[in-house]
Structure formats: structure tokens, C-alpha cells
Amino acid sequence: MKAARDYSPKIDPLRDHCPVRAAIDVLSGRWKPSILWELKAEARRYSDLQGALPGISAQALTLQLRQLESDGIVLRTVYAEIPARVEYSLTDHGRSLSQVMDELERWGARHLEREGKQACICR
């Protein structure tokens, strides 16, 4: 596995000081809200996540998980079994995102409604 810093965001002076952008950057990613949703209740295995996210490729899933890991949001636990088992769970820091996610969901639902689109739960 590559080093965690290989998945850190690139340098950007604005992001390094703006809390709002810092938060958005953590959540920005094709599958990140869905992954966080899946991990909200309990730890999940790699293959669980792949099954729960129709259309995601192995590479995409790995990348998003590594980025979330590098941001301290998810914890990767490898069990020394054969075949290997790897579980992903939320860290305390990751769980602290739930309020933010709730606000985003509320506002986003209103936004979709304005556009005449049907809002449903992230899956």
C-alpha cells in the first residue's frame, strides 16, 4: 500500500486556511457521501461497499477510501485471516461529520425540490 500522504490533496493556499473549503474538500468526491452513508451505522468490508455502491469500480472505491483515510475520516482495519478481511469504519472525527451532513442534506433537498427533482436518500 502506498503512503497516506500520496492521497492528500495538493497544495492550495486558500484551502489551507479556509474552514469552509477544507470541509467541502473532504466531502468532495464522486462517492464519498455514499461511502459515509454506508459506514454511518456500522463497519463494512471492501466487498460490502462495492456491492452497496452500484457502478463503482475497484479502483475508484480504493481511491476514495484512501482519501477519506488520509483525512482522518475512516479507519482501515486489516484482519490477519486467510483470505484477508479488511474492514472500514468511521473514526470519531468521521462521526463528527454527521451534523454537517444533516445540514447539507436538508439544504440539498430544498435545492432539488426547487429544480423539480426528486430527492431520495443517498445510496
Partner DNA sequence: CGGAATCCTATTTGATACTG
Partner DNA sequence: CAGTATCAAATAGGATTCCG
DSSP state of 109: H
CB of 118 to DNA, least distance (A): 21
Alpha carbon of 24 to those of 15, 21, 85, 108: distances in Å? Answer: 10, 5, 31, 14
Select the span of 33-41, 62-70, 90-98, 111-119 touching DNA (CB under 7 A): 62-70
Q: Does 46 bind DNA (CB under 7 A)?
A: yes
Q: Does 62 bind DNA (CB under 7 A)?
A: yes
Select the span of 23-31, 35-43, 103-111, 114-122 touching DNA (CB under 7 A): 23-31
Using alpha carbons, select from 120, 5, 119 the residue that is nearest to residue 66.
5
Alpha carbon of 98 to those of 6, 37, 46, 87: distances in Å? Answer: 26, 9, 22, 20
Question: Rounded to a whole number, what is the distance in angstroms from the first to the last CA of the chain?
Answer: 28
Distance CA 80, CA 32 (A): 27
Residue 122 near which of DNA, its own copies, none (CB within 5-8 Å, type-dependent): its own copies
The site for its own copies (CB under 8 A) is made up of: 14, 16-24, 26-28, 30, 33-34, 37, 71-72, 93, 96-97, 99-101, 103-112, 114, 117-123
Nearer to DNA, 14 or 99 (CB): 14
